[in-house]
Amino acid sequence: MEYPNLLPRFLKYVQVNSRSDEHSTRFPSTEREEDFQKQVIMKDLQELGLSDVHYNQKSGCVIAEIPANITKNVPVMGFLAHSDTADFNSENVKPQIHENYDGHSKIQLGDSEFYLDPEVFPHLKNYQGQTIITASGDTLLGGDDKCGVSELVTFAEYLLAHPEIKHGKIRLAFTPDEEIGTGAEHFDVPEFGADFAFTVDGEAPGKLDWGTFSAAQFSLDIQGVNVHPAVAKGQMINAVQVGINFQNQLPQDEVPEETDGKQGFYHLMNFTGTVDNAHLDYIIRDFERDGLEKRKDLVKSLVAKMNEEFGTERIKLKMWDQYYNMADELAKHMDIVNLAREAYKAEGLTIDEDPVRGGTDGSQLTYMGLPCPNLFAGEENMHGRYEYTVLESMYKAVDVMVKMAELNAASHQ
């Protein structure tokens, strides 16, 4: 089904910079994403006539409710989308609309030197005859997750305009700081009031994520000894070289660029330093919880061995868990996954349940007592200039949510 307000709503949202900031000390991490939530999303929800529209300061979320239009009590279903965008230029986004894509040509990003090439991005070939939306080459698009944000608002608009579609109470949440992994930890599950929920933050139609990585992060701060190179022998300890030596002791084939499927990895994300001191940031990923622990243990043992060789704690390690594979917990709630499966099938979709090589807010929320798989939103090539979405994929995401609302009500009557 086509939803006439979905595209203009999406175009409006992506032109608002709501990028989060992992270095910020405030919550939500940036004033701009909070402004987007309060001044844009909240206003649109209020104008549509949703119930209980408010901003929860504790969770940094805009919350709203689609009231039930049946008298029988059914489980309260929730849908969530995150309001922030990733760490790529998000200022002055100029969305470009490419109608009736031919399925094989390169798509120029605005007037820039950059193109979407179907030989590089073969998923483009799936969208012949459809409408592709890109940015202009110097920013991301922001479809991750403003696809989900606009779809949730459009879903609410449609249900309110079509009371013949019977459904129970539905709660909506627009969350902050998903891209920096800190938003969900503040989520107020009791106040949200849903029995289960779905994040709408996935890729192509048919993608259903209920398995994710388990994840940890660590940093190394290395203190070197800086002396003049002329007299360095036996005295200098080059902090940069120490960092290189640590990196070289990790499994060299267990990195993102060498792994796929269910293979985990170590990922060096940042390395800065001088002879005197250096700083390294890593993430660790594994689908198995014990695999994550083994990877963490390897890092700890390498740091301990190197410090022992120095005779002092020259390398300081900070490590923390980020989230766990939600499949372990959702195995107890397969009725929720089956609800999504049934809706996908009803909408003619081929279901792709390969575990996502990442995580969602749902990873944390599931372990906080809100079972929360992830639905597709139509966003592709996230987090950079080559990001795009497909209008027909966004329509289909709304179709699926409408069908889920119907099925949830019908299955409990």
The catalytic residue positions are: 84, 178
List the one residue out of 76, 154, 54, 83 whose CA is nearest residue 395: 154
List the one residue out of 84, 26, 85, 38 whose CA is nearest residue 63: 38
Q: Could you give the 3-state DSSP secondary structure of residue 61?
A: strand
Contact of 57 with 28, CB cutoff 8 Å: no
Q: Do strands 196-202 and 374-376 pair parallel, antiparallel, or not at all (unpaired)? A: parallel
In total, the chain counts a number of residues equal to 413
How far apart CA 29 and CA 298 sit, in angstroms, is 32
Contact of 51 with 64, CB cutoff 8 Å: yes
How far apart CA 13 and CA 40 sit, in angstroms, is 8
Contact of 55 with 148, CB cutoff 8 Å: no
DSSP assignment of 383-409: TSTT-EEEHHHHHHHHHHHHHHHHHHH
Contact of 248 with 218, CB cutoff 8 Å: no
DSSP assignment of 81-106: EE--B-SS--TT---EEE-S--SSS-
As a dihedral over the C-alpha atoms of residue 69, residue 73, residue 75, residue 78, rounded to 10 degrees, the angle is 30
DSSP assignment of 318-385: EEEEEE--THHHHTT-HHHHHHHHHHHHHTTPPPB-PPBSS--HHHHHHHTT----EEE--EESTTST
Residue labelled with tokens 């709630």: 333
